[in-house]
């Protein structure tokens, strides 16, 4: 597995396993299958409702803790200095861990600054190796960086061939923040898995569309965390280190960019308000 070096010297696998939308009752099996397939980085969130199941799979795997990289996220309803600290310890307990590798602010809403102060303190205390954010557009990211002590190690944002986020990545590169893709396959939207450009490139390498997309992201030094509940696809999504896309192939995938989200715009007041009211069972 290739790693990326985060801005505080911590190494993070460039490819991991995401568990969004895996129902809690299926998550233990899915994570066990992923660990068996060879994944060592896991991405969950308090809002996904499946941290306990992730924790059970980690425990039964017997894999040494230092070989794993575990990420979870703070939901908006737990924002603020005291609440964030409490939510962090709840997540740790649910995961059955004594420290996290990466803790992210899930959405750029609510008392983000209070949350960040709590996360800075948790990092200094050594219970989390790296702290970061998710769904931050460059303006919000730069504001957080410029008015706090610790620069986020990671910003996890929607990134896939239809929304490639190169301008965002450039800002992150300049500021030392690692880009991480969520929705690398756009969750299959826009018929991604039967896209002719991606299928053609896959055929040239004897690889699937999913593998081509992950390879394109990895060659751009974007961390990826594809989700699947199927063991065959988990293995397929890991098998992306034995081929290389040419500059022309990279450029033809780049050309698929629409510059827009296929999901939601975090700068839309309706989205801000709707997300702020969500009360997942964290
Ligand atoms: P995704 O990884 O883009 O797509 C998952 C979909 O692709 C599932 O329907 C899966 O179906 C299918 N799939 C996976 N591998 C495949 C393959 N090789 N061939 C064909 N189909 C395949 O979507 P995502 O789960 O939204 O994103 C990945 C992770 O990012 C999440 O799990 C989560 O950890 C994180 N995320 C974070 C945020 C955030 O706000 N920070 C938002 C969304 C996601 P099967 O499961 O049936 O195989």
Work out the angle at residue 166's Cα, subtended by the Cα atoms of residues 165 and 169, and round it to the nearest 5 degrees: 90
What digits encode the pLDDT tens for the residues 75-91?
A: 999 999 999 999 999 99
Distance, CA 125 to ligand 1 centroid (Å)? 33
Tell me how far the alpha carbon of residue 206 is from its chain's centroid.
Answer: 27
Domains of the chain: 3-277 (3.20.20.100)
Task: Give the residue, by CA position, lying nearest to ligand 1 atom 29.
Answer: 18
Name the band, by pLDDT with cuts 50, 70 and 90, for residue 281.
confident
Closest ligand 1 atom to Cα of 226: 2
Distance, CA 187 to ligand 1 centroid (Å)? 5
- Residue 230 near ligand 1, beta carbon < 6 Å: yes
Closest ligand 1 atom to Cα of 227: 2
As given in the structure block, the two tokens for residue 53 are 């199941």
Name the band, by pLDDT with cuts 50, 70 and 90, for residue 279.
confident
What digits encode the pLDDT tens for the residues 16-32?
A: 999 999 999 999 999 99
- Residue 228 near ligand 1, beta carbon < 6 Å: yes
- Residue 189 near ligand 1, beta carbon < 6 Å: no
> What percent of the chain is modeled with pLDDT above 70?
100
Catalytically active residues, by annotation: 48
Instruction: Report the candidate in 231, 270, 259 with the shortest Cα–Cα distance to residue 137.
Output: 259
As a whole number, the mean pLDDT across the chain is 97
- Which pLDDT does position 282 carry in this prediction? 72
pTM passes above 0.95:
yes
- Residue 70 near ligand 1, beta carbon < 6 Å: no
Instruction: Report the candidate in 158, 104, 101, 157 with the shortest Cα–Cα distance to residue 132.
Output: 104
> Helices (H) and strands (E) in the chain — how many of each?
11, 10
């Amino acid at each position: 597995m290739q790693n990326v070096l985060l801005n505080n010297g911590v190494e993070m696998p460039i490819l991991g396993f995401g568990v969004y939308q895996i129902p809690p009752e299926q998550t233990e099996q899915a994570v066990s299958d992923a660990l068996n397939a060879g994944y060592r980085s896991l991405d969950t969130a308090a809002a996904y409702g499946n941290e306990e199941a992730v924790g059970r799979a980690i425990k039964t795997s017997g894999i040494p803790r230092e070989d794993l990289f575990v990420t979870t996220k703070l939901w908006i309803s737990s924002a603020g200095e005291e609440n964030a600290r409490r939510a962090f310890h709840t997540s740790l307990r649910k995961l059955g861990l004594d420290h996290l590798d990466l803790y992210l602010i899930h959405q750029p809403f609510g008392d983000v600054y209070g949350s960040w102060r709590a996360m800075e303190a948790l990092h200094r205390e050594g219970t989390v190796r790296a702290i970061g954010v998710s769904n931050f557009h460059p303006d919000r990211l730069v504001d957080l960086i410029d008015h706090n002590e610790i620069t986020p190690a990671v910003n996890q944002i929607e990134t896939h061939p239809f929304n490639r986020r190169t301008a965002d990545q450039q800002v992150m590169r300049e500021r030392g923040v690692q880009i991480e893709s969520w929705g690398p396959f756009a969750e299959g939207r826009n018929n991604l898995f039967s896209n002719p450009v991606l299928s053609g490139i896959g055929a040239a390498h004897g690889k699937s569309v999913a593998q081509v997309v992950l390879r394109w992201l990895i060659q751009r030094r974007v961390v990826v965390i594809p989700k699947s509940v199927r063991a065959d696809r988990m293995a397929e999504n890991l098998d992306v280190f034995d081929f290389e896309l040419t500059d022309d192939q990279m450029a033809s995938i780049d050309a698929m960019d629409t510059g827009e989200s296929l999901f939601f715009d975090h700068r839309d007041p309706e989205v801000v308000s709707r997300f702020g009211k969500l009360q997942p069972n964290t």
